[in-house]
Structure 1
Amino acid sequence: MTDVLIVGAGPTGLTLACDLARRGLTIRIVDKSPGHPRSSRAKGPNARSLEVLEDLGVVEAVLAAGSAPLPMRKYRDGVPVADTDPYAGSAPTPDAPYDRGRLIAQWRLEEILRDRLAGYGVAVETGTEVVGLTDDGTSVTVALADGSSTSARYVAGCDGAHSRVRKLLGVPFEGETAEDQVMVCGDVEIDPGVLDRGIWHQWFDEDGAVMLCPVPGTRAAWWFQSGPERDADGRPLAPSADGFRRLFARHTRLPAAHLTEATLLSTYRVNVRMADRYRVGRVFLAGDAAHVHAIAGGLGMNTGIQDAFNLGWKLAQVLRGRSGTELLDTYEEERLPVAAWTLDLTSERLRATLEAIRKPGGGLDSAITPSTSGLDRGYRWSSLAHPGGDGDALRSGDRAPDAPCAVAATGAPTRLFRSFAGPHLTVLGFGAGTEGVLRAAASAHGDAVRAVRVYGADAPEPGTEAAGPDALHDREGLARTAYGVGRDTVVVIRPDNHVGLISDTDGFDAVHRYLEALDGVRKPDPMSVAGMVDGTRKG
């Protein structure tokens, strides 16, 4: 029987598939489309999603295929009035290697993820439509449109805003559609040399707008977004190639014939909706199947990628018998509030952008804030978050920071993220007093836990046998700074690179209880998540 059937092969489903496949689980990923769509749609991963893609081993391919976010040129009445670079002055920091996202066509990102998945021996099954679900409490029987059926221990609905899985589950998708906030979109080709491809061009006029962003890796392709043409009664007209040419000519003041192709035309209306639950028995929802919102800030695809990264390790721990099924409840507990926050943020950013473009020089840069990077999203409220800490200090549930280090055994440069990468928990030990808990964690949990001693000034000389293969040298003290370490401290990092707990030498028993709850290989009946939280609160 298949461990997990994933319905939908967009970025959310592919991220989940890659994460589960590298953990050795048996998966199927199906999509009702007859072939892989060539649509650009989302413009690329944000900074946090790049960290996820790095962990999955594909970030170098994404960086090579895409481009950095472009400066924005705003026009009024066909005349340039302002150039803005929303990322001017920003740069990577020791704790965050990506200070901005990456522009890449969604079809190209999907190609990269499919190639990664193929390396695990898994291919997307196109033309495969799910029409029924039956959950008997131990598995899910899935009926397909061709009359066949299949079974899986769990099912993940990653099949978009019109999710068949969500509808079959009867999960409400509450919210609203702003019928008056309409945009037409498509992929177009423009004669080379007509527009500077190093610029995201934005024409905002009193009677409408056109936005053109070059698609990286292409010679003449652009993302086209515009207000729609309207009929005599003010109703928006359906998008068409001729309509796109008329809109292009009206706002750019350039000859319509320069726009030579217009494909994948669609009408976008602002939808703000969210499922009221993410799990029904053995079936889960992720990505647009669980939440849709305004496009301002570019968080749609990114929220889905991060949903998948949260769900993947939890499914794997339960399927491999290393954690109780209560762990699966924390997926909704953690990700549903993030979706609610995203709906609020994107609606507010849309309001700010619509206000900004009323004046010459306003543009889409109004949608970008530090929060749209995704780097400040954590789960401090989660039952998996060990209590403790206050104020601005790093706390359990937060995104785990990066830091440059050296491999203690060789002196070669490395980063904390390289220790975190892969399907395991990580235990960082700062200080000599942590040696015992690191040895115990490695002994009890084997490959499921990577125990990493982080040396400071006490680091052994490279080439000696004193440092283990996973030990790091925090030469500049940047890891200690990022984690707020002032004395012997153990930090548990979850497989999705969020802090599980931070414990000093007075509370190392809490470390053992936490690891047993998430990877209870020594207990035939693993401790429940609720029991773990109660225990660590007492520890």
Structure 2
Amino acid sequence: MNRDTDVLVVGAGPTGLALGIDLARRGVAALVVEKAQALFPGSRGKGIQPRTMEVFDDLGVLGAIRAAGGTYPVGMIWQDGRRAGEHRMFDPAESSEDAPWNEPWMVPQWRTQQILRERLEELGGEVAFGQEVVGLTQDEDGVRAVSASGEVITARYAVAADGGRSTVRRLLGIGMTGETVDPYPTVVADVRISGLDRDHWHLFPPGRAGDDFLAICPLPGVEDFQLVARFPEGTTPDLSLQGIRKVVAARSHLAPESVTELCWASDFRPRAALADRFRSGRVFLAGDAAHVHSPAGGQGLNTSVQDAYNLGWKLGAVLREGADASLLDSYEEERRPVAADVLGLSTRVHRGETRRGEATRQLGLGYRESSLTLETRPGPGPLRAGDRAPDATVAGVRLFDAFRGPHWTLLVLGDAQAPEPGGRTRVVRGPAPGAYGPGLYLVRPDGYIGWAGATAAGLPEYLARFGLR
């Protein structure tokens, strides 16, 4: 059997599903394939950072994500079966007009993926399960992928979103450079457990060796807890129900039978690694296929979804809007430095060298140095081209409402003047809110300021680069 599509997305994790949604709403034919027979079943990537909340708002899933999750609970430190103190996982932050979601939101990864899949299918997209890509070739016209079942899929472009052990990355011959963040094997499991309240993240500190840490966190919207346990170097953890019970009994005041059910378990060695390239011809790497993080700080899933968000509008511009294919060169240019910075942050959080604070919320990430960024004002203020476009209200219009959708947005603020740009660009005119200041701001489909000016000089030429004139 042969199939043909515009974009083949390999992997139905958060990255592949988010990319599928973005392409579907742009009218780009995309097929998401997954080698497993179902979506990932565990809670592993449970933290959604404020910037990703903004992305999910644009993709049309924020309401479901908010309903499925909750705030992070305060940590409860246990010592010898007694409550010995509290610990806050994240520095506190207040929401504001320019950043309406300013704290992490906890949703089990399996539930996030369910929500993304439902949205993808609502838009007419498709996930094909049981399709393991085992061969991949490409030429100047497209990509040819072969599945283990013998099916051949041809596409104009392909995206490897198939995780840290990416088969597609291996087929492309792209290496990864990294380091071991922590030598201790770690188990993460979803369990049903009695004897602990659901108002706290229960922490059982390690002994002097530091290799017997245990944390048990209630997951919102379900009866499960996520258990994380660290083991001595060289250990092969027992992932069975009996093995999990033994760990809980040894490291807490709970009896083995307190663990009533094991829903899912996995082990890993925390590491940080970055792909040497994010692109090979017509094939792109995104998510864990491009960068592998320590789970500390909740950065991996979020950086991965934002890879998809960056790539989706560019593929749409090339495939549907007449933009030059060279636009796709900017994906690696923009995302690889971000991934490298976030990898360093995750590692520092894991090692206790920095707290989970402003940087981990990812609202400060941007593309000031990108070749797509053009700042023409002689004296720009703190908000510059390349930065995330903040929320605000202009002449009764909420900007995040104006940004929502697969289009560009031109903000004409204060005394600035600009003609109607036409095409697929929405215009908002009005007084300049404090987060911006007067001037012209052209906001990209992914919510970053691509061009900024005091006058409209140069704006038509900039728009033309993206097929917008």
Shorter chain as denominator, the TM-score bin is over 0.9
Which residue in the other structure is 2:88 paired with? 85
**What percentage of residue pairs aligned between the two structures are identical?**
41
1:450 aligned onto 2:426: yes
Shift of 1:430: 1.3
Which residue in the other structure is 2:362 paired with? 374
Secondary structure at 2:185 match in 1: strand
Which residue in the other structure is 1:290 paired with? 290
Letter in 1 for 2:370: S
Which residue in the other structure is 1:113 paired with? 116
C-alpha distance in 2, partners of 1:379/1:76? 46
C-alpha distance in 2, partners of 1:88/1:176? 27
1:422 aligned onto 2:405: yes
TM-score (norm 1): 0.82
Alignment partner of 2:217 out of 213, 217, 239: 213
In structure 2, relative to structure 1, the CA distance for the partners of 1:277 and 1:89 (3 Å cut) is closer
Shift of 1:391: 8.6
Question: What does 1:111-150 align with in structure 2 at a 5 Å threshold?
Answer: 111-150=114-153
1:198 aligned onto 2:209: no
Conservation of the 8 A alpha-carbon contact between 2:13 and 2:40: no
Shift of 1:89: 5.0
Secondary structure at 1:151 match in 2: strand
Which residue in the other structure is 1:501 paired with? 451
Shift of 1:67: 0.7
Q: Which protein, 1 or 2, shows the higher relative CO under an 8 Å CA cutoff with sep ≥ 6?
A: 2
What is the root-mean-square deviation in Å for CA atoms of aligned residues?
Answer: 1.9
In structure 2, relative to structure 1, the CA distance for the partners of 1:201 and 1:404 (3 Å cut) is farther
In structure 2, relative to structure 1, the CA distance for the partners of 1:190 and 1:269 (3 Å cut) is same
Shift of 1:37: 2.7
C-alpha distance in 2, partners of 1:31/1:438? 46
C-alpha distance in 2, partners of 1:36/1:449? 36
Conservation of the 8 A alpha-carbon contact between 1:350 and 1:367: no
C-alpha distance in 1, partners of 2:416/2:334? 33
For structure 1, the residue ranges without an aligned partner over 5 or more in a row are 354-365, 408-413, 457-478, 522-539
1:404 aligned onto 2:393: yes
Alignment partner of 2:47 out of 40, 44, 49: 44
The C-alpha deviation readout for 1:158-194, integer Å capped at 9, x for no partner, is: 0000101101110011213357232111111112xx2
Letter in 2 for 1:451: V
Which residue in the other structure is 1:528 paired with? none
Shift of 1:123: 2.3
Q: Which protein is bigger by CA-based radius of gyration?
A: 1
Shift of 1:46: 0.6
Which residue in the other structure is 1:266 paired with? 266
Question: What does 1:88-487 align with in structure 2 at a 5 Å threshold?
Answer: 89-177=92-180, 180-191=183-194, 194-206=195-207, 208-219=212-223, 221-228=224-231, 235-352=235-352, 367-387=355-375, 393-407=382-396, 414-434=397-417, 437-439=418-420, 441-442=421-422, 445=423, 448-453=424-429, 455-456=430-431, 479-485=432-438
Conservation of the 8 A alpha-carbon contact between 2:22 and 2:59: yes
Letter in 1 for 2:409: T
Conservation of the 8 A alpha-carbon contact between 1:104 and 1:216: yes
Conservation of the 8 A alpha-carbon contact between 1:238 and 1:267: no
Conservation of the 8 A alpha-carbon contact between 1:200 and 1:213: yes
Point out the more displaced range, 293-302 or 240-249.
240-249
Conservation of the 8 A alpha-carbon contact between 1:53 and 1:59: yes
Conservation of the 8 A alpha-carbon contact between 1:429 and 1:438: no
Which residue in the other structure is 1:475 paired with? none
Point out the more displaced range, 379-388 or 7-16.
379-388
The C-alpha deviation readout for 1:346-375, integer Å capped at 9, x for no partner, is: 11111117xxxxxxxxxxxx6412100010
The total of aligned residue pairs comes to: 462
The C-alpha deviation readout for 1:270-317, integer Å capped at 9, x for no partner, is: 121111111111100000000002111010100000000000000000
The C-alpha deviation readout for 1:8-61, integer Å capped at 9, x for no partner, is: 000000000000000011110000001223211111311000000000111011
C-alpha distance in 2, partners of 1:244/1:3? 45
Conservation of the 8 A alpha-carbon contact between 1:229 and 1:243: no
Shift of 1:433: 4.4
TM-score (norm 2): 0.94
The C-alpha deviation readout for 1:362-411, integer Å capped at 9, x for no partner, is: xxxx641210001010011100111457797111111111013454xxxx
Secondary structure at 1:96 match in 2: coil
C-alpha distance in 1, partners of 2:105/2:410? 31
Secondary structure at 2:363 match in 1: coil
Bigger proportion of residues as helix? 1
Which residue in the other structure is 1:492 paired with? 442
C-alpha distance in 1, partners of 2:446/2:356? 25
Conservation of the 8 A alpha-carbon contact between 2:444 and 2:450: yes
